[in-house]
Amino acid sequence: MSSPAPPPRAGLCATCRRAEIVASKRSSFLRCRRSDSDPAYPRYPALPVLVCAGYEPGARDAFDRSTRSS
């Protein structure tokens, strides 16, 4: 199976360490793991996210992390 395609124009989520790519056979979604502990954050935010108080810069792009973990 090929690597999941990144969601178009993810904004801040593309480089947030709390972002996770959830892939299915037909598409991929960006999930905010901060929503696990704080209900103020949507599990699947509307993209692009341009402003986020919970943004935490990550070491790599979320899409790079998803392709390396597969």
Q: What string of pLDDT tens digits covers the 70 residues of the chain?
A: 455 555 557 899 988 999 999 998 998 889 999 999 999 999 999 999 999 999 999 855 655 655 544 4
So what's the pLDDT on residue 70?
Answer: 47
For residues 21 and 4, is the Cβ–Cβ distance under 8 A? Answer: yes
Closest CA to 36 of 54, 60, 48: 54
- The whole-angstrom separation of Cα 42 and Cα 34 is 8
d(CA 9, CA 58): 17
The reported pLDDT for the residue numbered 44 is 96
pLDDT at 9: 74
Q: DSSP state, 19?
A: E
* pLDDT, position 36: 97
Contacts of 2 (CB under 8 A, 6+ apart): none
